[in-house]
A and B are shown apart, each in its own frame.
Chain A
Amino acid sequence: MTTVASPVPATLAPSDVELLRRMLLVRRFEERCAELYSASRIRGFLHLYIGEEAVAVGVGAALEDGDNVVATYREHGHALVRGVPAGAVMAEMFGKVEGCSRGRGGSMHLFSVDHRFYGGHGIVAGGLPVALGLALADRMRGVPRVTACFFGEGAVAEGEFHETMNLAALWTVPMLFCCENNLYAMGTALARSESDTDLTVKAASYGMPAWSVDGMDVIAVREATRRAALQARAGGGPVFLELRTYRFRAHSMYDPELYRSKDEVAVWRERDPIDAIARRLTGAALLDADALEALDAAAMEEVDAAVAFADAGTDEPLSDLTRHVYADRRGERGPEEERT
């Protein structure tokens, strides 16, 4: 077995406050999303990441601007960390043309090619083969870029996961398999879906290094990802990261949470990743109560601005309904060519 505990540096740097800032932004943003959902401003499916922020923020902090990210439908945090403006994400959920997918995607399908953020995938495990291809292109062209692909532990049961793991290892592509193990796929606990719940063994069977990481510890996530990215970027092939985390909220907005106890949730909430990093920063004298409050206020402000931006957004004209099915083509058939 190739599981290696990742080293955590003993001392924090002043710049690590940025990690806290990002986690707070994601948290406040999603809390507002939940409110806006209740107010019927956001519709469709809405999957909150609350409790899991250390994963997206930790991985994101280890990536470079030129790297690729592919994520799931639980991807607000990943998009924000990647630098997609909060306003564009909120406008997307409002179905506005100013949204990062022009209102065509909604909460589950955030895209921003400018940020090399390639979705926003609603089919469990469906993003994995696409990420493989992004990484393959870089491998073939010798570009030192890494593709980080996020997926839940539920995806491990899908054939697409295994096909992609095998091919990624066989072709030594620069890809990071970022498995967000929050223990439940909707209501299905890992032990009820996997014959062997040690996910790293699956990677080992493809000859791929696999590390289990405490996904509630943003520093541990960042350090493990740094090491993995270094290896992948240098041509060492893919790495599987099991990021052990927990979703504090329901799977989506329609989940009465019959499959787990309130006590279990309460125990995990004590390990809130935001409190954890705030405590460590405070302990290291890099943060005090005022600074924390200021960070939080700034996050709230950014969220307010995002909502205002989305509120001011416009509806795409109905005449554009069938746009973007094919590339807009100039020429005989006009830009809004509809191929039927």
Chain B
Amino acid sequence: MTSTTCREAMREAIREAMLADDRVFLMGEDVGAYGGCFAVSKGLLDEFGPDRIRDTPLSESAFVGAGIGAAIAGLRPIVEIMTVNFSLLALDQILNNAATLRHMSGGQVGVPLVIRMTTGGGRQLAAQHSHSLEGWYGHIPGITVLVPATVDDFRGMLAPALADPDPVLIFEHALLYNAEGELSAGSIPPIDRAVVRRSGRDVTIVTYGGSLAKCLVAADQLAGRGIDAEVIDLRSLRPLDDATLLDSVARTHRAVVVDEGWRSGSISAEVSARITEHAFFDLDAPVLRVCCAEVPLPYAKHLEDAALPSVERVVAAVDEVVNVRA
């Protein structure tokens, strides 16, 4: 086992993909000379040169679209967008083209494109650099939405994403880049499967990405009080792995969904709806959600902390569902 960070894990994944397949190239703002705005691609320009570590101007729509065209033409581009907020400038290309062309062309035009971007709050970057919009993207048929939370998934999700014949979006929570972990030997579970990160009998906590660590801490605290929480890492928001969720809820009879996105019309709402649709009679308590407060994320630390899901809020939600007497 080797210790690494999520940043290094993703960099290694990119390196490996570029070495394995000369159709693969990385393109985005400051991925080359600058080394990547989160230093993910640091050093890759020297190794692979400016053609394949391709710096782009501030033209999100054009370079995402160029990635789509190059993918259609048979290359395997990895497009990096600095943060999810900036991806909105490329939403036309992502939704109207990448997600749509295969269907609209009757199956002729596939877009094997990978788009990586940073997501999430917690860095006091305020309301234009902190949001978690991956749930929105999960709304769109035609794409796959991955949300790695561990070094293994940062290391292992890129290769299957590149092998996918359709567009795959990878959302990397910025606070995870420095997170360290041991890389396991062997391959990761299929990318469309949720994974039980901690087994438990009393309640199912469903989460992903940047919230996983908080949920695991909460589960430890709860264990100290005799509450045995199961923690599920969704890993993919589209497709959603209903089977793993429902199997867990059938055993625990209680569920709390934890998501950094806003609550209304969100991925947490979707998860909750699926549980009530398919496991209503397994439930002993209403499904609760711990989400971002419904504000654009504020700058001040105490306000930002209060807005985001926290260990305390997760613990409180679990206490609430556990205290419902069946």
Contact = CB atoms under 8 A, between A and B. Distances in A.
Interface in B68-83: 68-75, 77
A167 B68 contact: no
Contacts of A254: none
Given A140-B51, A166-B59, A326-B166, A132 B69 contact: yes
B62 A129 contact: yes
B59 A137 contact: no
Contacts of A166: 57, 59, 62
Contacts of A164: 59, 62, 65
Interface in A319-340: 322-328, 339-340
Interface string A163-178: 1101100100000000
Interface in A236-289: none
A159 B90 CA distance: 11
Given A134-B73, A138-B73, A159-B61, A113 B66 contact: no
21 contacts: A99-B106, A100-B106, A101-B108, A109-B104, A113-B105, A119-B101, A121-B97, A130-B72, A130-B93, A130-B97, A133-B65, A140-B70, A140-B75, A141-B75, A164-B59, A166-B59, A166-B62, A170-B57, A327-B166, A340-B141, A340-B239
Given A129-B61, A166-B57, A324 B106 contact: yes
A339 B51 contact: no
Given A140-B70, A163-B62, 7 more contacts: A101-B108, A103-B106, A104-B105, A120-B104, A136-B70, A163-B59, A167-B62
Given A126-B93, A140-B51, A170-B57, A327 B165 contact: yes
A160 B107 contact: no
A56 B103 CA distance: 26
Contacts of A10: none
Interface string A101-136: 111110001011100001111110010111111111
Contacts of A135: 69
Nearest to B25: A140
Q: Please classify how large the interface on chain A is, using the bins under 10, 10 to 19, 20 to 34, 35 or more.
A: 35 or more
B109 interface: yes
A327 B69 CA distance: 17
B92 interface: yes
6 nearest A-B pairs in the assembled complex, by CB-CB distance: A133-B69, A129-B65, A102-B106, A137-B73, A163-B62, A111-B105
A323 B166 CA distance: 13
A133 B102 contact: no
Interface string A307-323: 00000000000000011
B95 to A, nearest CB: 10
B64 interface: yes
A99 B108 CA distance: 12
A104, A113, A128, A326: which has the most chain B beta carbons within 10 Å?
A326
A132 B62 CA distance: 8
B144 interface: yes
B240 interface: yes
Nearest to B144: A339
A324 B103 contact: yes
Contacts of B261: none
B69 A129 contact: yes
Interface in B39-97: 51, 56-57, 59, 61-75, 77, 92-93, 96-97
Contacts of B92: 123, 126, 160
A323 B107 CA distance: 8
Contacts of B72: 118, 130, 133-134
Interface of A: 68, 99-105, 109, 111-113, 118-123, 126, 128-138, 140-141, 159-160, 163-164, 166-167, 170, 322-328, 339-340
B44 to A, nearest CB: 16
A138, A324, A340: which has the most chain B beta carbons within 10 Å?
A324
Contacts, number: 152
A133 B66 contact: yes
A232 to B, nearest CB: 15
A167 B144 CA distance: 28
Contacts of B69: 129-137
A99 to B, nearest CB: 7
Given A118-B72, A170-B57, A339-B141, A109 B105 contact: yes
A68, A135, A137, A323: which has the most chain B beta carbons within 10 Å?
A137
Contacts of B102: 324-327
A132 B71 CA distance: 11
B142 interface: yes
Nearest to B238: A339
B210 interface: no
B120 interface: no
A123 B166 CA distance: 21
B110 interface: yes
Contacts of B73: 68, 133-134, 137-138
A141 B92 CA distance: 27
A77 B281 CA distance: 58
B180 to A, nearest CB: 33
Nearest to B111: A130
Contacts of A327: 102, 107, 110, 165-166
A108 B171 CA distance: 33
A48 to B, nearest CB: 21
Interface in B128-176: 141-142, 144, 165-166
Nearest to B270: A340
Contacts of B110: 327
B283 to A, nearest CB: 21
A24 to B, nearest CB: 28
Contact of A167 (B59, B104, B142): B59
A102, A109, A136: which has the most chain B beta carbons within 10 Å?
A136
B104 A129 contact: no
Given A109-B105, A325-B103, A137 B61 contact: no
A129 B71 CA distance: 12
